[in-house]
Chain A
Amino acid sequence: MLLEIQSEALVKTLDELKSKGFNYLKKITAVDHGDNLEVLYMLYDTESNIEESVMVRMPAVYAEVPTIMKLYKAADWYERELSEMFGIRIRGRDAKRLLLEEWEGTGTPLRKSFRWGRPPGVPGGYIGVKQQ
């Protein structure tokens, strides 16, 4: 089942789903479609083995979702990954050290607009495709 909602309704929807038994967060992931981004929340009911996905669509230039850490602890690292890889702002969370990337300012790798290669100021030799 896939439920498409607005980002304002995200916390409320997930809260309702959690009270219905979807107590397990499997994964948060995102897809870049160029102009817009999709963020997917995959939920699971450990009692009755049912899965449910919630999708939030947003414009790529203004990508922001509220944090769901209060509902699911498992969202912690997934949200950090999301903000690093897609540049999606997570409302209600402090900036922390990077989870997977090594340097600040390497861009948002999983966006389709990402350019390969080292950004200026990052130590190390020349690797990959030259920056435009």
Chain B
Amino acid sequence: MRINIGPIHPSTHGALKLVAYVDGDTIQKIETHIGFLHRGVEKLMENRIYMQNAAYAEKLDYLAPLSWDDLYVSAVEQATGTQVKEKAQYLRVILLEFQRMASHLLWLGMFCNDIGQSLTMFMWASRERAKIIKLLEDVSGNRMFYMNLRLGGFSRNMPRDFTERAYDLIGYLEQKLAEYPEVLDSNPIFMERTKGVGVLSRKDAIDCGVSGPVLRGSGVSADVRKSKPYYVYDKFKFIAPIRNTGDAYSRYRVRFEEMHQSLGIIKQALDTMPQEGDALGSKIKLRSNDANPAPITVSRELPRGEGMIYMVPGKQGPYRISLRSPVFTNLYALSRMCEGAKFADLFSILGSLDIVLGEVDR
């Protein structure tokens, strides 16, 4: 029997269509239909100047806009040979890790919602995420799409009480994160719906090209922050958590431990951040310095996996820009994970991938 799911469905988190071929309630095959949000972002970017495109980059992943903004701005910085100020590097690390936590928290809430764990976790996670979003809002002036990165730094300096507020927030988050396992790991419903569900073996994970928590949940240690450190990540002590089972539970554990690691990184960055100097970047100009036309590749560890930009720079705007979305390949692996799974587990598996369709369809 064939079952159509989507494109409008509360559990697909956007416009995604799945066609499931089932025998009884066992899934034999899944067809994934994407492209409902295709805007032609790469073409649009090629027809605009460098600074205009930052707005497009943010809209790719509307749950962690700062990460994509950073990836794009870093690509332009590399093309134009702009050095990022030291203080700005520390601040970017801090804000990016806060963004990663906000993204993981929202995922955790939605995931628990997907698997019928009622609203408790969603409310808790949203409560914590709201505090992070408030800090990011006060830093940038915008609540959802921050747009505060400029070449070499930020659009404006941090608020005066930024450091104290960040320390307070870390303390708060540490205390709240400690409460989570009580409703997750010691909850039989959560455990039964995630353990052994949607297993992706190490070999399949590498073959399908998945990245981020999905890849690390399958036992492969691959983290751009470790393998190709950018900014000041090499100065901090942290680990990229790995799990070997490759099921939905291991992907949850990887993300959960990543949040603790993020807190550690932020704390170290706040402790060692240079106090003097500013973190201001260049002003927005219609004509910037001409970019070097040599092709560049920039990789960043986004909350959902490895994002990459391959750019052939033109003088004032990209001649060709190619975006590697981590979710694009993670979603591709869905059909592999679903083979032989129960139909009821489909949304547990899909939820554990943490998809954002804005960047899949581009």
A residues contacting B by CB (< 8 A) are: 23-27, 29-32, 40, 42, 46, 49, 72-74, 76-77, 85, 97-102, 109-110, 114
Contact = CB atoms under 8 A, between A and B. Distances in A.
B320 A32 contact: yes
Given A27-B322, A31-B312, A100-B34, A46 B207 contact: no
Interface in B290-326: 295, 297, 306, 308, 310, 312, 319-320, 322, 324
Contacts of B222: 46, 49
A106 B242 CA distance: 44
B contacts with A: majority SS: mixed
A109 B40 contact: yes
B329 interface: yes
A110 B42 contact: yes
A57 B209 CA distance: 24
Interface string B207-246: 1110000000000101000011000000000000000000
Contact of B208 (A40, A73, A101, A114): A73
Contacts of B190: none
B159 to A, nearest CB: 38
A40 to B, nearest CB: 7
A40 B320 CA distance: 13
A46 to B, nearest CB: 5
Given A100-B35, A102-B35, A72 B320 contact: no
Interface string B326-362: 0011001000100000000000000000000000011
Contacts of A27: 308, 310, 322, 324
Contact of A77 (B204, B295, B319, B332): B332
B35 A46 contact: no
Contacts of B308: 26-27, 42
Contacts, number: 69
Nearest to B35: A100
A72 B295 CA distance: 25
Interface of B: 33-35, 38, 40, 42-43, 204, 206-209, 220, 222, 227-228, 295, 297, 306, 308, 310, 312, 319-320, 322, 324, 328-329, 332, 336, 361-362
Contacts of A31: 295, 312, 319-320, 322
Contact of A26 (B207, B324, B336): B324
Nearest to B331: A77
Nearest to A98: B35
Contacts of B33: 97
Contacts of B295: 31
A25 B211 CA distance: 11
B209 A24 contact: yes
A85 B329 CA distance: 18
B207 A109 contact: no
14 contacts: A23-B207, A26-B324, A27-B324, A32-B320, A46-B220, A49-B222, A49-B227, A49-B228, A73-B207, A76-B332, A77-B332, A100-B362, A110-B43, A114-B43
Contacts of A74: 207-209, 329, 332
Given A25-B209, A110-B42, A110-B43, A99 B332 contact: no
